[in-house]
Amino acid sequence: MTDLTKLTAVEIAGLVAGGETSAVEVTRAHLDRIAAVEGRVHAFLHVDTEGALAAARAVDERRAAGEELGPLAGVPVAVKDVLTTKGVPTTVGSKILEGWRPPYDATIVQRLRAAGTVMLGKTNMDEFAMGSSTEYSAYGPSHNPWDLDRIPGGSGGGSAAAIAAYEAPLAIGSDTGGSIRQPGAVTGTVGAKPTYGGTSRYGLVAFSSSLDTPGPCARTVLDAALLHAAIGGHDPRDSTSIPQPMPDVVAAARLGATGDLTGVKLGIVSEFVGEGAEPGVMAAFHESVDALTKLGAEIVEVSCPHFKYALPAYYLIAPSECSSNLARYDGVRFGLRVGDDGNRSLEEVMSLTREAGFGPEVKRRIMLGTYALSSGYYDAYYGQAQKVRTLITRDFTAAFEQVDALISPTTPFVAFPIGARTADPYQMYLADLFTIPTNLYGGPGISVPCGLSEGLPVGLQVMAPTMADDRMYRVAAALESAVGTFTPPAL
Amino acid sequence: MTTTLPAYDDVVARYEPVIGLETHVELGTNTKMFCGCPTDFGGEPNTRVCPVCLGLPGSLPVANKAAIEATIRIGLALNCSIAPWSRFARKNYFYPDMPKDFQISQYDEPLCFEGYLDVEVNGELVRIGIERVHLEEDTGKSLHVGGATGRIHGATESLVDYNRAGIPLVEIVTKPVPGIGALAPEVARAYVTELRDVLRSLGVSDVRMEEGSLRCDVNTSLNLPGAEWGTRTETKNVNSLRSVERAVRSEMLRQASVLDAGGRIVQETRHFQEDTGGTRPGRSKETATDYRYFPEPDLVPLAPEAAWVAELKAALPELPRLHRRRLQEQWGLSDADMQSVLNAGAVELIEATVAAGATPAAARKWWLGELSRRANETGVELADIGATPHQVAELQGLVDAGKLNDKLARTVLEGVVAGEGSPTQIMANRGLEVVSDTGALTAAVDEAIAANPGVAEKVRSGKVAAAGALVGAVMKTTRGQADAKTVRELILERLGAQG
């Protein structure tokens, strides 16, 4: 019998649509897999067994009634715990929201339901999506299926680990500085950050509003494209959502899978191939460049001189916005409340609640952001960072006048051992060195597995102009057709 | 500390006041500023709320176009420039009645800026500069239970109602107004009055100060002649037009007494006390906040198209001051007469009464006379007295038709105010119509003559003035329901005397 958990989303949807299996069977298979491996992987914060089976039964009933099913109907999906799910706990990896059950679904969750996907549960993440390893989750880290002593990346390490461990074929992540792509890279899976505004943020618990972008995680480029198409497109509830129709990413992935990149011009970001990345990562990257050349792509080197300022600019903008976005966790209306003994003042209760509810990295960024926005420092920090953002956008615009898409390693290093980088925040921040410029610019980026370094996966990043998400899917699918997919050792 | 306040005349002889006003107007849009919740006043606490106006994690604001349009119209009516590009900003501070612990407001990029409003004080035109007009969201309302003062200190419980949270609020900020001397309190009041009338004429708000849909903060400072402007205080909780005037005046007196004693004015927020007419200190400096404004990343910039703005400008109604001038001419009133109409708050009422068919003079007579008197007696606004312009016009129509005399008309009006129905109905129900049936009237006259033979004899002999006593007697038997002139003519006729 086929192991349903080893199939792609496309294959599962085909079997369900053809009546060769049922959505309930598919769901049970994945729930069984979760039960078998979760103790070692810890990808989920909440598994919604009953909700998943009910959703699966609904798909089977619709099929039995002869209704036409969408391309992902009956496919299980894991949702990062950053998206609100009606009646289902949403913690954002934080103690401060422990036990909170939102009264509403995020737009993306609504669309997932409408597409007939089956939500298995909510995945682990660094608290409020701040981190690159899930070690800052208030509920303990997730483990990389390639090596359980190593991190699965972050902040969306739970989603990536769930996919890599065959607990789900699809997952939703959110990418503020690399939180979809870097976990994808270190777990040997595909993670795409759509154009900012191409996927709705309504119901995405905010970390940094001008950077947060929800997107798809999958084991193949085509699966990611299908999920992207299902969740993307204009949402009137999100003012920053783009009203224009999004490009056909599924068609682009199918075109790329033919393995022909003739006429496609790719730029290697010269600033990203010097020092900074591990030799094994660079070796895999260069082999992939050769593979892309063989597929017909023309490859040139492109300089983006301001990218070196991206990391510091990011660490002013994101904390500034987070310091404001996270103010509402004050114990008044929802979530944790500490110290309300009837004698303490409002300010004391707010302070004690935030002291107890937030972890060290969240506190660090709230402090940074509060400082950067303070009167007298605003121009020097937040204002200056916004100027850098403009310069980085110009670098991208100039680069895309020369090439169709840019490529780089996704992250400078392979999955590191749990605990290796928590002592020095800067060492952790470096994980997002290559992914952050895209967030500051607002364009799309995808990480696709491109090889192994000492037995651990390496990802290649493709960056495209805003609203040209199709281009990155084409290139990523072409590379995938050349290098194949990567399977972790059996758990 | 008890200090005897100096005399006002003395204060304005020695100091020059500078005032400034910040006015908050709740817009009368159907839905809130950033979500679809209804905005009507009242309602069970926390029933007009959703994830957005409760600031639940993940929720996002979407700007209300009707509110943006109303703000632009206000800006245009106040002669402002409309920014071709402006942004919302977050004003960050922790307070439980603010669901997100920040308020979406505007900071250095307001929608409207650099305008003015002309107001008339004692027949003189004073131009009040408008610094900015911007759009923001209202907060919820806190209720502190168990304390003696209703304030948070000493309360055993605090409740918050978020029905008001997210209602669109327009803030209108004047430039500092110097050079008005002793008139400062009156100028402040005239400005808020004029602003209220402008907002009402635009139909953007119900501008009810007592319900809080129009709220005013008054800035006041004093300086010695020729010296730099003094330190200002901001007085909040000013909830009526009269209070605006009193707040400026009392703050001028308080500051003068501090300065006279060699003291220093502290820049602070003070609260107006309706009962004493004075102010007391509010939020202290220790909790003064750095609001850490930054552009609201969840909202795209506002870029109203020039053509749309031009369209809104062309469709603005006549401004109240010009409208009043036109009415004054139409009604043929002197400045003093017009002023008393204004003071009574009767402009719109008279205008509507005239539109319903009464002459301007008659309309003015009723509204400024009987109805104003009753409004004063019962302490209600003239507009809320219970009589409509339509009813007043109808009443006057009955007088003009000879069906009511002046005295009867007043009685009918009492009925109208008491809610007994239309003047015609009341006249019929209460049997108040003038007795015009000559047969009945002649009988009453004959009865009066028979009962007063001496008086009748005097009239017959030519002492026509004596007829007054007979008229009185007839009016008495007809319970005032006869026309005195007709009665007199009838008496003279019956007695063969010449009027």
Per-residue model confidence (pLDDT) at position B284:
53
**Residues in B touching A84 (Cβ below 8 Å):** 56-58
What is the model's pLDDT at position B496? 80
Cβ pair A342:B55 closer than 8 A: no
Enumerate chain A positions whose Cβ falls within 8 A of a Cβ in B: 83-84, 90, 92, 97, 100, 102-104, 106, 201-206, 208-210, 236-240, 320-321, 323-324, 327-328, 330, 332-334, 342, 346-347, 350, 370, 373-375, 378, 382
Residue A275: count other Cβ atoms within 10 Å of its Cβ: 6
- Indicate whether B426 and B443 sit together in one domain: no
Tell me the average pLDDT across A329-351: 93
Question: Which chain B residue's Cα is nearest to A321?
Answer: B297
- CB-based contact (8 Å) between B68 and chain A? no
Asked if A260 and A399 count as a contact pair (C-beta separation under 8 A), the reply is no
| pLDDT bracket for residue A2 (50, 70, 90) | confident
Establish if B94 touches chain A: CB-CB under 8 angstroms: yes
Classify A47 as helix, strand or coil: strand
**Long-range CB contacts (within 8 A, 24+) of A379-385:** A381/A316, A381/A320, A382/A316, A382/A317, A382/A320, A382/B294, A384/A313, A384/A316, A385/A312, A385/A313, A385/A314, A385/A316, A385/A317, A385/A320
Question: Is residue A110 included in any domain, yes or no?
Answer: yes
Give the full edge-to-edge strand order of the sheet including B269-272: B81-82, B112-121, B124-137, B168-174, B16-26, B214-223, B233-238, B269-272, B279-281
Domain hosting residue A446, numbered range: 4-267+404-483
Question: Residue B63 and residue A350: Cβ atoms within 8 Å?
Answer: no
**Could you report the per-residue pLDDT of B397-454, keeping only the tens digit for each?**
999 888 888 888 998 999 999 889 999 999 888 888 877 667 778 888 888 888 888 8
**Inter-chain CB proximity A204 and B90 less than 8 Å:** no
Q: Is residue A415 part of a domain?
A: yes
Q: Do B152 and A209 touch (CB under 8 A)?
A: no
Same domain, B156 and B16: yes
Give the residue, B68 or B435, on which the prediction is more confident.
B68
Q: Is the peptide bond before B213 cis (omega within 30 degrees of 0)?
A: no
pLDDT in tens, A356-367: 999 999 999 999
Which residue type does A164 have?
A
Does any CB of chain A come closer than 8 Å to the CB of residue B431? no
Contact A103 B51 (CB under 8 A): yes
Sign of CA dihedral A198, A204, A208, A213: negative
Residue A353 lies in a domain: no
CB contact under 8 A, A330 and B54: no
Q: What angle do CA A87, A88, A90 make, to 5 degrees?
A: 115
**Contact (Cβ atoms closer than 8 angstroms) between residue B426 and residue B416:** yes
B348 and B396 belong to one structural domain? yes
Considering only CB atoms, A240 lies closest to which of B99, B100, B300, namely: B300
A21-30, A56-65, B411-420 — which is least confidently predicted?
B411-420
Is residue B328 located within the same domain as residue B279?
A: no
Pair B331, B302 in one domain: no
- The nearest CA of chain B is from the CA of A238 a distance in Å of 6
Same domain? B133 vs B241: yes
Q: What is the pLDDT of residues B345-369, one digit of tens each?
A: 899 899 999 999 999 999 999 999 9
Query: Is the CB of residue B79 less than 8 Å from the CB of residue A224?
Result: no
> How far is the first Cα of chain A from the last one, in angstroms, to the nearest whole number?
20
- pLDDT of amino acid A308: 94
- Please give the ipTM for the structure prediction: 0.96
d(CA A21, CA A14): 9
Pair of tokens at residue B336: 């003093």
CA B254 from centroid of its chain's CA atoms: 27
Structure confidence at residue B287 as a pLDDT band (50, 70, 90): low
Distance between terminal CA atoms of chain B? Answer: 76
Q: Which residues face B295 on adjacent strands?
A: B89
Choosing from B395, B414, B430, the residue where a domain stops is: B430
Q: Is A155 a catalytic residue?
A: yes
Residue B1 domain flag: no
A179 catalytic? Reply is yes
Residues B302 and B339 in one domain: no
Say whether pLDDT at B497 is over 90: no
> How many whole angstroms separate alpha carbon B437 and alpha carbon B481?
11
Tally the domains of chain A: 1
Contacts of A363 (CB under 8 A, 6+ apart): none
Which residues 6+ apart lie within 8 Å of B79 measured at CB?
B115, B116, B117, B130
User: Which residues does chain A have within 8 Å of residue B96's beta carbon, measured at their own beta carbons?
Assistant: 330, 332, 346
How many angstroms separate the Cα of B129 from the Cα of each of A36, A414, B79, B118?
73, 63, 10, 9
Residue B286 has pLDDT above 50, yes or no: no
Q: Which of A95-104, A108-117, B382-391 has the lowest mean pLDDT?
A: B382-391
Instruction: Answer whether B153's CB lies under 8 Å from B201's CB.
Output: no
Is A450 a domain residue?
Answer: yes
Average pLDDT of the segment spanning B291-304: 96
CATH of the domain at A67: 3.90.1300.10
Residue B3 forms part of a structural domain: no
Q: Give the closest of B96, B100, B297 to A346, CB-based.
A: B96
Residue A228 located in a structural domain: yes
Instruction: Say if B74 falls within a structural domain.
Output: yes
Residue B304 lies in a domain: yes
Q: Is A159 a catalytic residue?
A: no
CA distance A68 to A73: 10
Range of the domain at B333: 320-430
A343 Cα to chain B: minimum distance (Å): 9
**Is residue B32 located within the same domain as residue B130?**
yes
- Interface check B290 vs A, CB under 8 A: yes
Q: Kindly report the CA angle at B2 between B1 and B5, in degrees rounded to 5?
A: 130
* Residue B145 at interface with chain A, using a CB cutoff of 8 Å: no
Number of domains in chain B: 3
Q: Please tell me whether residues B113 and B173 are part of one structural domain.
A: yes
CB burial of residue B495 (10 Å; 0-12, 13-18, 19+): buried
What confidence score (pLDDT) does residue A188 get? 98
Using 50, 70 and 90 to split pLDDT, how confident is the model at B461? confident
Residue B233 shares a structural domain with residue B376: no
Residue A463 has pLDDT above 70, yes or no: yes
Local confidence band at A267 (pLDDT 50, 70, 90 cut-offs): very high
For position A118, what pLDDT does the model report? 98
Q: Chains A and B: how many Cβ contacts under 8 Å?
A: 101
* Predicted pLDDT at B2: 52
Q: Is B62 on the interface with A (CB under 8 A)?
A: yes
Amino acid of residue B334: S
Say if strands A190-193 and A445-453 run parallel, antiparallel, or are unpaired: antiparallel
- Residues facing A121 on adjacent strands: A47, A78
Tell me if A216 sits within 8 A of A224, measured CB to CB. yes
Q: Average pLDDT, whole number, for chain A?
A: 97
pLDDT the model gives residue A457 = 98
B85 in helix, strand or coil?
Answer: coil
pLDDT surpassing 70 at residue B283: no
Q: Hey, are the CB atoms on B290 and A375 less than 8 Å from each other?
A: yes
3-state secondary structure of A169: coil
Indicate if the pLDDT at residue B64 is higher than 90: yes
B57 and A324 in contact by Cβ < 8 A? no
pLDDT of B285? 47
Tell me how far apart the alpha carbons of residues A266 and B417 are, in angstroms, rounded to a whole number: 84
Is B287 in the same domain as B324? no
Mark yes or no for CB contact A375/B94 under 8 Å.
no
Q: Are residues B292 and B361 in the same domain?
A: no
Catalytic residue among A133, A137, A155, A288: A155
pLDDT at A127: 98
* pLDDT beyond 90 at B383: no
Closest to A420 measured CA to CA, from A160, A147, A191, A174: A147
